[in-house]
Amino acid sequence: MNVTRDFAPPFTLIAPFFLIGTLFYVISMIALFALGSEVSFADMGTIGWVHLYLLGFVMMIIFGAMAQLVPVVIEVGHAAVDFFYIIWPMLTVGTVLMVAGFAFSPALLPYGGMIVLLSMVIFAADLFATLKRGEHKSIVVSSMKASNIFLLLGILSGFVMALSFGGVVEIDPMHWLKAHVFAVFGGYVLLTIMGLSMVLLPMFGLSHGFNDKPMLWAYRFMVSGVSAVMIGSLIGLEWLETIGILVVIASVVTYFYQIYLIKKTRARKENDIWVKSLAFAFFTLAIALFESVVYLLGGSESWIMSAGWFLMMGFVGFLITSHLYKIIPFLVWFERYAPLVGKQKVPMLNEMVPLRAANAQMVSTATGVMLVGIALLFGSDSLFYSGVSVLVVGAVYLLYSVYTMMQYGKEVL
Amino acid sequence: MSVVTEEEVYKAISTVIDPEVGFNLVEMGLIYEVLVLKNGHVSVKMTLSTRGCPLHQMMIQWVQEAVVRETESDFCAVEIVWEPAWNITMADESVQESLSNQGIGGN
């Protein structure tokens, strides 16, 4: 089946996800000034920041990217593409309310949580309806199905916690915390990234003929590991939780091996901003894995705080920004230049990336990620705020780059 | 009716550039077969560098338009096939060399 132009959502539908997601990224970096190097994962400030970053930036960009990529992967058009017009406003409002709830007034949490929950239910509804229409079966499609089930479970558990913070229901939120974190971050974010890696990395790197069995195992490990952690934490079986965490780590290691196999068969050797950002992303994933193991072996909380930082800001952050430099030029090119092919000279996609700003973004953000990660490990505020300052500079460069790519060729319309 | 040669068809398709890598479809080795029928119609069997290529339908359209625009033929049918699966050894040596060189086309 062909992926026709009709299957591709209009740029006007996807653009707000990328622009608002990037704005949330800038705000997230500035908000780090409100934290310090000795934060705990149970602090309301930390939880608020994590939601600002994960909902406002990570989820917003993933949803926008999925609007474009779902038809490509499933080889069928969206069941209800117009749903995306209401997803981003709802996710924006829900995120703002939730962050305000964590920062100022817990009573806002149920309202914010409800709006976020609804936006994600709408997203999942479109995805499952689209999956039902498609006939193409692959590990990517399987990971999409599983990750969206985890998204719903994760958001539901988060909503129960939001009700608890808001005083509506009485549960011990810490009891639900692991289930929520592993469902959303491991089950949804990581599994989605793993699945999409199997499409995007070979496509941009022109890798062929590699063994894709490790991804199948990474998928199985992640699904069973996250399930075990969720069940273990909800019914209070600590040994099941521990096994689940180890299986999740095994999944990430297996995924790492899969990426190595894809890289080994890469025909396209150029080290552009995409490759350099990916290299840093996987470097920080290795650091996060190492620090997680140290924590599990009895290390202090600072190890897991630093690991979480490298995982979220290093691995997930750089995976996302690296692909913004590929996906946005493609979307803009597809909208503005594809109709002109054969009629006039059209630019190549890499010409649409503002090279200096993109490199400045990558270098400053990588520096900031390292400084803050080390600061969290050793409890150094001076290092922490130095790192945050550099991250803010990187965020401004990112905003400039995203805006410039979106404006490219606007005059041709 | 004027006669269209296979060579002319390949030349026409070589005006279609993949915007991601910057090479034309012929030098990328994506064109598997070109047939010129007795009535002057052209049939092209081709593949794409990846199955999940979001330009799938556009590529078909660009090849059809290029053949009609650049040759005397007034009809071109394009079929996308996945066997044999494309790999880099199918591309011209110049393409392979360029892709292997760091910094070529990079940003």
For chain A, the structural domain boundaries read: 1-136, 160-269, 270-327+350-408
Query: Quick one: pLDDT at residue B34?
Result: 95
Query: Quick one: pLDDT at residue A246?
Result: 94
pLDDT of A208 > 50? The answer is yes
Distance CA A164, CA A174 (A): 11
Q: How far is B1 from chain A (nearest CA, A)?
A: 25
The verdict on A337 touching B (C-beta cutoff 8 Å) is yes
- Mean pLDDT for the stretch of residues A212-238: 95
Would you state the structure tokens that stand for residue A378, as one six-digit string? 């050793």
- Mean pLDDT for the stretch of residues A33-52: 91
Stretch among A212-221, A317-326, A349-358, B48-57 having the lowest mean pLDDT: B48-57
ipTM over 0.90: no
Query: Quick one: pLDDT at residue A412?
Result: 63
Compute the CA torsion angle A256, A258, A263, A268 (nearest 10 deg): -130
- Put simply, the answer to whether A341 touches B58 (Cβ < 8 Å) is yes
Query: Could you tell me the pLDDT band of residue A152, with boundaries at 50, 70 and 90?
Result: very high
- Put simply, the answer to whether B19 touches A337 (Cβ < 8 Å) is yes
- Put simply, the answer to whether B99 touches A270 (Cβ < 8 Å) is yes
The verdict on B62 touching A (C-beta cutoff 8 Å) is yes
Nearest to B68 by CA among B38, B34, B41, B29: B41
Query: Quick one: pLDDT at residue A365?
Result: 98
Q: Which neighbouring-strand residues pair with B46?
A: B31, B80
The verdict on B58 touching A (C-beta cutoff 8 Å) is yes
Q: Give the Å distances, CA to CA, from A22 to A60, B77, B105.
A: 9, 43, 26
Selected for mutation to probe chain B from A1, A68, A73, A268 (highest B CB count within 10 Å) is: A268
Query: Quick one: pLDDT at residue B104?
Result: 40
Q: Nearest CB to A4: which of B22, B57, B80? A: B57
Distance CA A209, CA A223 (A): 26
Query: Quick one: pLDDT at residue A2?
Result: 39
Query: Quick one: pLDDT at residue B69?
Result: 92
The proportion of chain A whose per-residue pLDDT surpasses 70, expressed as a percent, equals: 98
The verdict on B5 touching A (C-beta cutoff 8 Å) is no
pLDDT of A409 > 90? The answer is no
- Mean pLDDT for the stretch of residues A310-327: 95
CA angle A56, A131, A127 (to 5 degrees): 20
Residue A189 contacts residue A62 (beta carbons within 8 Å): yes
Helical segments of A52-190, H only? 60-74, 84-103, 109-133, 139-165, 173-181
pLDDT of A137 > 60? The answer is yes
Give me chain A's average pLDDT, please. Answer: 91
Tell the residue number behind the tokens 């491991």, with chain if given: A186
Domains, chain B, with CATH or none:
6-87 (3.30.300.130)
Helix, strand, coil % over all residues of chain B, rounded to 5? 30, 15, 50
Query: Could you tell me the pLDDT band of residue A70, with boundaries at 50, 70 and 90?
Result: confident
> B57: nearest CA in chain A?
A4
Query: Quick one: pLDDT at residue A340?
Result: 86
Q: Which neighbouring-strand residues pair with B45?
A: B33, B79
For residue A364, give the 3-state DSSP assignment. helix
The proportion of chain B whose per-residue pLDDT surpasses 90, expressed as a percent, equals: 62
Question: What are the chain B neighbours of A267 within 8 Å (beta carbons)?
Answer: 87-88, 96, 99-100
Tell the residue number behind the tokens 């590991």, with chain if given: A225
The verdict on B57 touching A (C-beta cutoff 8 Å) is yes
* Residue-wise pLDDT tens digits, A154-173: 999 988 888 887 777 888 77
pLDDT of A69 > 90? The answer is no
